[in-house]
Amino acid sequence: MTTKLTIPISEEQIRGLKIGDQVLLNGVIFTGRDAAHKYMSDNFIKGSCPDAEKEMYEILRNGLAGGVIYHCGPVVRKRDDGKYEFVAAGPTTSIREEPYQADVIGHFGLRAVIGKGGMRDKTLAGCQEHGAVYLHAIGGAATLIAESVKEVLNVHKLDFGVPEAFWEIRVEDFPCVVTMDSHGQSLHDKVRADSERKLQAILAG
């Protein structure tokens, strides 16, 4: 089954998804990797927001509520008119964000995280508690995924570097698969456990 979701997404819609469901996302999403997650944790979650970061906090608070963050370090091109466009937009490995992700989901009201490779117990518990899912994007299809990015609306914290900045983008029919749902199910855990059983059977000979 393929479900089309328009951002902002309701908790009810998220609770209706199960691992294995295919999803097409439409609307505005934000990219965010290592520097972005550490920045959100240090400035907005662990302590009070510094005055210098209040404008950015409002942008993220409004943009991520019911929204989506994409673990992506895009390849971008600046056009002659000064606007940016995505050349490649493949997912980056998500596990690096495991220390932060559940807190970011809870604090900002995120409904979905996109990446590759899956995440672990803390994030899975956060998805279950707050009503969110982990969506797996296709690794190795960066150029194809970039075709779903119809417009770069803004870039924030470009001083972090192009791959680490917050890119605010509008997507149409962005393809992904639910691999961690809000019911405590993780396809990554199932694959890991199955692989371990097969390995032990081989070693037992």
73/117 Cα distance (integer angstroms): 15
Find where tokens 């971008």 sit.
76
Rounded Cα distance, 89 and 108, in Å: 23
Domain ranges (residues) in the chain: 2-204
Residues 90, 143: Cα–Cα separation, whole Å: 7
Tell me the pLDDT band of 190, cut-offs 50, 70 and 90. Answer: confident
Spatial separation of the C-alpha atoms in residues 69 and 156, rounded to whole Å: 14
Among residues 37, 71, 156, 188, the one annotated as catalytic is 37
Compute CA 42 distance to the chain's CA centroid, rounded to the nearest angstrom. 19
Q: Which two tokens stand for residue 38?
A: 């550490």
Active site residue 107: no
- Mean predicted lDDT score pLDDT of the chain: 94
- Residue 140: pLDDT band by 50, 70, 90 thresholds? confident
| Mean pLDDT computed over 129-156 | 92
Q: What is the dihedral of CA 49, 50, 53, 59, to 10 degrees?
A: 20
Question: pLDDT value at position 200?
Answer: 76
The predicted model gives 37-42 an average pLDDT of 98
Q: What is the pLDDT of residues 49-80, one digit of tens each?
A: 999 999 999 999 999 999 999 999 999 999 99
Joined tokens for residue 114: 């996109």
Where do we find the tokens 């037992």? 204
Dmax of the chain from CA atoms?
A: 64
Residue listed under structure tokens 């150029």: 143
H helix intervals, the chain = 11-15, 34-40, 54-64, 98-108, 121-130, 142-146, 187-204
Q: In the structure encoding, which two tokens stand for residue 72, read together?
A: 């992506």
CATH code reported for the domain at 2-204: 3.20.130.10
Give the pLDDT score at 4. 97
